[in-house]
Amino acid sequence: GGPPRDINMIVPIDLLTAILDELLTHGRPNHPARPWIGAYAGEGEGRVVIAGVLPKGPASAAGVRVGDIVLSVRDEAVGSLADFYRKLWQSGSAGVEIPIELVRDGRTIWVRVKSRDRGQMLKKNSLQ
């Protein structure tokens, strides 16, 4: 009767089929857009550091700067780069305001970043 059918091999294909259907129907995954802040972070020496800030992006508008060290997102300590992005994305859907605690020049500061839908922002910028 042919090769053995392993249920673990079937589940990912089903998942991919569902995602492909969403992409073909909606042009993107069919769930609310994740909050995007327009900043890139890196991890070093056990700290998450802002490595880049997009001009005119949400983080830039809130005063986030390259070199800022991220301490917390929504009053929850950030332990790693993956943790930082997880906490951003768990803040709600795009448009939510996200309080972020930073260290700059040895001082702790708070910023409130009004997140955006990355896809909408990139689409808008590509039309100009």
The pTM of the full predicted model, rounded to 2 decimals, is 0.72
Cα separation, 125 vs 91, whole angstroms: 25
Cα–Cα distance for residue pair 43/51, rounded to 1 Å: 9
At residue 83 the predicted structure's pLDDT band, cuts being 50, 70 and 90, is very high
Distance CA 28, CA 26 (A): 5
Q: Give the model's confidence band at 11: pLDDT under 50 very low, under 70 low, under 90 confident, else very high.
A: very low
Residue 4 has pLDDT above 60, yes or no: no
Side-chain-side CA neighbours of 42 within 13 Å: the count stands at 7
Instruction: Provide the 10 A C-beta neighbour count for residue 127.
Output: 6
